[in-house]
Amino acid sequence: DTGVSQDPRHKITKRGQNVTFRCDPISEHNRLYWYRQTLGQGPEFLTYFQNEAQLEKSRLLSDRFSAERPKGSFSTLEIQRTEQGDSAMYLCASRAPGAMNTEAFFGQGTRLTVV
Amino acid sequence: EDQVTQSPEALRLQEGESSSLNCSYTVSGLRGLFWYRQDPGKGPEFLFTLYSAGEEKEKERLKATLTKKESFLHITAPKPEDSATYLCAVQYSGGSNYKLTFGKGTLLTVNP
C-alpha cells in the first residue's frame, strides 16, 4: 500500500470550465475527507465520507462543488464553472475504521490553477 | 476568533539550535491534537497525535507535548532537512465529530 493517491497532481483550467479530481484512499480506510488549502493557510475542511455516505459538508462547499464516493472506495471532487477563487491545493485524507480520533493520512494533493 | 493559533508564523534557526513551536487552542472537549509536517507543494505528513494533557511523544529530533490549552513541538538540534511548515490540528467534540481544524502553520527554516 502506497498511501493516499490523488490524481492529477496539477490542473490548469480556464475560468468557467469544469474539473474533476480523484482520490484513492489507503486500502480498508472507510473514512475519507476533502480539504482545500490556499497559500499561507492551513487546510480547510470541505466534506467527509464514511463508506459511501457523505456525512458532512462545509459551508465552503458551494453548489458548484460536488463530491462522491460511489462504492465506498475512491472518491471524486467536481468543481463546475470554475472561478479564479477556486485556485488552491485540494487535499484528500483517509482514516482507518475504529475510533473517530485516530490519525488521518493525506495525499499529495491536486494543485488547481484557474486562469 | 481562530480556534487554533500557531506561533511563530515563521522561525529561522541555525543547524543545531534547538527551539519550540507553539499551538494554542480555544476549543473545549478536545478529542485529539495532531501535528503534521508539510513540505512545499506536498500534502501534510502525519507526525504525532496527543489525546490528553500531560501526554508526550517523541520521534527522532521532535518531541510533542500537550497541556489543557496548548501544545509544543520541541525540535532538538535541528538539521536543514527539518525545514518545512509544521501544522497543528484539533478534533473536538463541541463541533463536528469528524473533521480536523487546522492552524495556519509555522514555517521553519534551518540554515546549515
* Per-window interface: A 63-82 vs B, CB < 8 A: none
* Beta partners for residue B111, in sequence order: B14
Question: Which residues on adjacent β-strands are paired with residue A7?
Answer: A22
Mean pLDDT of B4-32: 95
- A44-98, pLDDT tens digit by residue? 999 999 999 999 999 888 899 999 999 889 999 999 999 999 999 999 999 998 8
**Within a 10 A sphere around the Cβ of B58, how many other Cβ atoms?**
12
Question: What is the average pLDDT score of chain A?
Answer: 94
Residue A60's pLDDT is 83
Whether residue B98 lies within 8 A of chain A, CB to CB, comes out as yes
Cβ burial, residue A31 (10 Å; 0-12/13-18/19+): buried
Q: Å from B105 to nearest chain A CA?
A: 6
Cα dihedral sign, B74-B56-A43-A10: positive
The position carrying cell 485529539 is: B32
What distance in Å separates the CA atoms of residue B88 and residue B74, rounded to the nearest whole number? 13
3-state secondary structure of B80: helix
DSSP A85-115: GG-EEEEEEEE-SS-TTS--EE---EEEEE-
Under DSSP, is residue B82 helix (H, G, I), strand (E, B) or coil?
Answer: helix
Q: Pick A108's closest partner by Cβ from B31, B43, B105.
A: B43
Q: Which of A4, A6, A42 sits opposite B102 (nearest CB)?
A: A42
What's the pLDDT score for residue A65? 96
**CB nearest to A45's CB, from B31, B46, B99:** B99
A109:B97 CB<8 A: no
pLDDT category of residue B94 using cuts at 50, 70 and 90? low
Residue linked to cell 466534506: A47
What is the rounded average pLDDT of the residues B89-96?
Answer: 80
